[in-house]
Amino acid sequence: MAEFLLAFENHSMLEETSVSSPSRKSAKSDVTRIPHIEPLFEDVTFVSEYSRLTKRYAGADYEPILKFALAELKQVEQPRVLELGPGPGWIGISLAKRRQDIRVTGVDISSTYVDIANQNAAQEGVDDRVDFRKGDACRLDDFADGTLDAVISNQSFHYWEPPGDVLREVARVLKPNGIFCIGDDRRDLTFMASVVVLLTKWFLTASVRESWMRSLQGSFTAAEVKEIIEQSELNGHAKIKLYPRMFFVQGRLTK
């Protein structure tokens, strides 16, 4: 049931917007943003629960990222992909299972998530092409300028403090014509999304459910996301796709 609800919701795109010029109005929201700092991200029990539940339920959330990346990288031989904030690693693992010559590196600030993600990659038989390491998305020192074909991320954008520093790094490490796709929840849920969240959360364990609610309150509104992108190195290269609960910032960085 939860899989059906999430899939139905994320097939209902509301709007696609090119980001190329500054907004005239400041982003506002009726719900105050409370940045989400989650101590449970280093708790093995919580991370294991989250890994199990996202493997089962979250495929609909990141399917737009997979489709975009696979389509845009179709003509690229042996593409190198960086995933920021991979958590348990299911997106990178799914990419590697769908395309045999792809190489994915995931960078996460949580050592517990890194350990679980590497275990998941090994169990899925793709650890020869997918690896996860501890690091800070604001400082991607392990990656030289212009060396990656794609940067992807899901459910991580609202943890980036400040987001502009990470987006600067994304632009730096991408090759000319490299692609990016960044997805996350949005705080300004539509009515339909609010209903989906209300129903779906009861399929989750208490700790994961409570963490998700805190995460939603820490996420950005669509207007805030647009303003952040307009002030970043991705401005003029990005489109924002809005869904009832999520947004996706995607594009190709022409240098």
The structural domains of the chain, ordered by start, are 2-18+32-252 (3.40.50.150)
Measured at the CA of 222, the angle between CA 219 and CA 224, to 5 degrees, comes to: 70
pLDDT band at 5 (very low <50, low <70, confident <90, very high): very low
Which of 111-115, 157-161, 193-197 is predicted least confidently? 193-197
Alpha-carbon separation of residue 10 from 6, 28, 185, 239, 245 (angstroms): 6, 24, 11, 17, 8
Q: What are the strands, taking DSSP E only, across 85-237? A: 103-108, 130-134, 148-154, 174-185
Alpha-carbon separation of residue 2 from 8, 58, 117, 200 (angstroms): 10, 9, 23, 5
Q: What is the pLDDT of residues 22-78, one digit of tens each?
A: 443 433 446 789 888 888 999 999 999 999 999 988 888 899 999 999 999 999 999
pLDDT at position 23: 42
**What average pLDDT is seen over the chain?**
90
With beta carbons less than 8 A apart as the criterion, state whether 81 and 68 touch.
no
pTM of the model: 0.90
Q: Is the pLDDT of residue 152 over 80?
A: yes
pLDDT at position 15: 56
Cα 255 from Cα 253, distance rounded (Å): 6
* Conformational region of residue 146, where left means phi above 0, alpha means psi within -120 to 50, and beta covers everything else: left
pLDDT at position 196: 85
pLDDT at position 60: 83
